[in-house]
Structure 1
Amino acid sequence: MILVTGGLGMIGSHTARALVDLGHEVVVTSYRQTDVPSFLAGQVTVESLDLTDRDAFFALGNRYEISEIVHLAGTIPGDDPIGYFRTDTTVLLNALDAARAWKVRRFAVASSIGLYIGRPEIPWHEGLDLPAVDLPHLIVAFKKAVEPITTHSLAGSGVQPILLRIGSTWGPLMDPESQFSPYPPYISALQRGEKPKPLYADDGGDSCYAPDAGRAIALLTTAKTLRHTIYNVSSGRRSTHREFVEAVQAINPGVELDLLPGRRHGPGEDPYLDITRLTQETGFTPMFDVAAAVSDYVAWRAGNHR
C-alpha cells in the first residue's frame, strides 16, 4: 500500500487518483481537510491524522503495510514563520523516521520550482546548481531545506529518496482565490458574472494541470527503477496568459475578455521546467494542453466550489 500524506489536497488528491488508476492500494492522510473529492470517493482509505504526532504517525505502520511514501503534506504560512517552519519540519522528520522504520522502497517528497530562482538559463533543468539568492516565499525557503534533510536522513537506509521539484500547478481543488495562480480566480470572477481583471498577454511561463502533476508523481513513485534523485514535475513547455484567455474565450464566446499587451515587467522570457528526465525514465507525457485544461477546469468548477 502506498501512503500519500496530504492526500486530500490538490496535488495529493490527483496523485492518489493516479496511483489508484495504476492499480495500487492507497491510504491518504488529512488533518483539516475532511471532504473527499468525488473522483476519490470509495477509491482510497482516508486517515484523519495530525502528522506532528509521531506516535499517531507510526501507528499507521501497524494498520497498513506501507511500501512507498509520497510526502505532500504541508501548511500555509501565517504571521509566525517560526511556527510554520517548526510544524512542517516536525512533519517531515516524522515521515522520514517512519520511512526508515518501515523500510519502504521509496520516499518521494515535494520540493519546488522556486529553488531555481536566480538561474538565467531557460528552461530550468535538474543539473543546474541552485543559486544563493533571497527567496520570495517561506514555502520556497522550506522546500530548499527539504532536499538535503531528506537525502541525508535516508542515506544508508535502503530507502530511495525522490525529490519532486514541482512546477506551477493549478486545477481542481485549488483555492478558488489562490495567490499562487491567476487562473482559478479568473474563472471564479466569470462564475460570479464579473469581468476578470485583465492579464498581460505574454506573461506565463511554467504551468502544469493538477491531474498531469499527479500522474507524473505516481509514475515516479511506482517506476521499477529510477536513475536519479531529483525530478522536475510539470508540463515541460512554456505557456502564456494569451493561450489561457483564448481558451476561456472559446468556452464563453459572448463574454468580452481583455488582454494587456506584452509582459508586466517588460521584454524577456518567463522560465519553465525541462522534464526530459521525467519523460525518459517514466514515459510521462502531459494529457492536458492549455485548452484541454481550461475546458476540464471550467466543467469541474461548474459543480464544485474549488
Structure 2
Amino acid sequence: MSVLVTGGGGYIGSHMVLGLVDRGEDVVVLDNFTTGFDWLISPAATVVQGDVADGALVGKLVKEHEVDAIVHFAGSIVVPDSVRDPLGYYLNNTARTRDLIAAAVASGVPRFIFSSTAAVYGEAGSEPVREDARLLPLSPYGRSKLMSEMMLEDASAALPLNYAALRYFNVAGADPDGRSGQSTKGATHLIKVANEVVVGKRPFIEMFGTDYATPDGTAVRDYIHVTDLIGAHLAALDHLRAGNGNLVANVGYSRGFSVREVLEVVGRVSGAKLDIRVAPRRAGDSPSVVADSTKLRTSVGWVPKHDDLDSIVADALRWERHLLKRNAS
C-alpha cells in the first residue's frame, strides 16, 4: 500500500513526504510544479508531474501503486491574491478538489486527508477558536477551503470515503534536519518574509495594520512548526486506518503571538535589526486567530514537540541561509 501526496513539491507537502518516508511508507507525489520544486521531494518517493483534476491519471496511480490514502495539499494559499482573483481560487482550490475527490471514490481509495485552514472561521475573536465555532470566512481563499470541506462531508455521507480535514493555523519553520523548508519566491508568510530581510533578500518588511483590537494593535496568530503539523497528519492517517470516523480538527498550539512579538523574536534570534515599515491592513485578514487544539490532542493523541517560537524562527532562518547558498551555487 502507498500514500498519494498531492502538491508534494510544496512547502508543507514536501515535509509530509519526509514524514511518511521516515516511518517506512511508500509515497507517490502528484504535483504540476506551478509553485512547487522537485528538488524538495525526498528521493525515496515516486514523483509524477500532472494535475490533480486529471481523473484518469489519478486512477492510474491509485491502481499501479495500490494507494490506500490521498493527502491533498495542492492549491493556492495567499489570502490577498484570492481577493483579487476569486474565480482562480475557486477553480484551483474547490473545483479541482472536487475532481480529485471524484477520482478517489471512482478508484476505490477509502481515505482522504484534506489541507484546510483556520481562514474558514473568519473573525474568530481573541479566544482560542473551537471546531464548532461559526464558519464565516472573510476571503475567497477561506471560502474555497470551506466548500471543499463541505464536499468531503457530503461525499462521505453518501459514498465509501472517510476523511480528515485539518484546519491549519500559521505554519512556519523548517525540517530540523535541514532537508526541506519554505522555498517559494514572493512568499507572504510573516516569519519567511522577516528571515528574507535578515539574509538580505528583501530590504524591509511591512507590518500590515497596527490598529487592530489586539493588545499591541497588530494581528495575532497561532504559529505552528511545520514538523508538528506533519505529526498531526500522520496521526490523522493512523486514526482513519484504524477504522475510526471522520475527523475535522484544528492544528495549532492554542497560543498566539502578535506581528510585533514575532518580529522581536526574529530580531533576537538572528541578531539583526529589521527595517519595519507600517502599511495598511490587507483585505481578508482577521485581527486574531488562535486554535483550540483540544480535539486533535484527545481524539488522535497528537503531542507537539516543537512548540517554541524561538526554535521555529531559528529553523526557518537556517533554511533561508541554506537557500541563499544553494541559489548562489
Bucket of the pairwise TM-score, normalised by the shorter protein: 0.7 to 0.9
Aligned sequence identity (%): 25
The 3-state SS of whatever aligns with 1:302 is: helix
TM-score, length-scaled by structure 2: 0.78
Deviations 1:64-101, CA, capped at 9 Å, x for gaps: 10111111111366765334423433421222122223
1: CA distance, partners of 2:196 / 2:76: 23
Deviations 1:9-43, CA, capped at 9 Å, x for gaps: 111111221122233111111102563345x4322
Q: Where does residue 221 of structure 2 map in the other structure?
A: 205
Question: What is the CA distance between 1:236 and its match in structure 2?
Answer: 2.7
Residue 127, structure 1, aligned to residue 132, structure 2? yes
Contact 1:177–1:184 (CA<8 Å) still a contact in 2? no
1:1-306 maps to which residues of 2 (within 5 A)?
Answer: 1-33=2-34, 35-38=37-40, 40-75=41-76, 80-120=85-125, 122-131=127-136, 135-171=137-173, 172-175=181-184, 177-179=186-188, 181-192=189-200, 196-197=204-205, 199=207, 203-223=219-239, 224=242, 226=244, 228-253=246-271, 255-257=272-274, 270-288=288-306, 289-304=308-323
Contact 1:14–1:215 (CA<8 Å) still a contact in 2? no
1: CA distance, partners of 2:87 / 2:204: 36
Question: What is the CA distance between 1:238 and its match in structure 2?
Answer: 1.4
Contact 2:94–2:147 (CA<8 Å) still a contact in 1? no
Contact 2:8–2:73 (CA<8 Å) still a contact in 1? yes
Q: How many residues align?
A: 296
- Give the counterpart letter for 1:139 in structure 2: Y
- Give the counterpart letter for 1:140 in structure 2: G
Q: Which has the higher helix share?
A: 2
Contact 1:165–1:231 (CA<8 Å) still a contact in 2? yes
Cα RMSD, aligned residues only? 3.0
- Give the counterpart letter for 2:110 in structure 1: R
2: CA distance, partners of 1:37 / 1:236: 33
- Give the counterpart letter for 2:135 in structure 1: L
Unaligned runs of 5+ in 2: 174-180, 211-215, 282-286
TM-score, length-scaled by structure 1: 0.84
Contact 2:169–2:291 (CA<8 Å) still a contact in 1? yes
The 1:129/1:251 distance shift into structure 2, 3 A limit, reads: closer
Contact 2:172–2:316 (CA<8 Å) still a contact in 1? no
Segment of structure 1 superposing worse, 222-231 or 278-287: 222-231
